[in-house]
Amino acid sequence: MEVAVRAIRQHWPQAAFENGLTGDRYDQFWEVPFAEIEEIFVYRDAKAADAWEEHGAIPELSNTMVHLLADDGTITAVIDERDANTEQILEAIASGLGDPILCLEVA
């Protein structure tokens, strides 16, 4: 999971993070307890994280968050839609992991 998040940070250096199971939020990469994380939301930045918290999945926030799930050595990335930016992020994750990832698009 940490490798995948590092790959996303290459494109979103100001990323904010949320534990998908507990809702705990981390505004700094070093705060994330990766050994305990099985599901994480990676937001483009703190402003996007705040907007998702306030409004949920609205069209204006499309592709400002990547949802990662880890299960049995597999990483699944959930995105809103594929575009040039998300393709770069997905490629960076796959490259970092040295393996293709499962990507789900949410319309």
**Cα first-last separation, the chain:** 24
Number of residues assigned to the chain: 107
Task: Provide the domain limits for residue 38.
Answer: 2-105
Q: What are 28-87's pLDDT values in tens digits?
A: 999 999 999 999 999 999 999 999 999 999 999 999 999 999 988 788 899 998 899 888
Confidence of residue 106 (pLDDT cuts 50, 70, 90): low
Residue 87: strand, helix, or coil:
helix
The total number of structural domains in the chain stands at 1
CB 65 within 8 A of CB 43: yes
pLDDT (0 to 100) of residue 102: 55
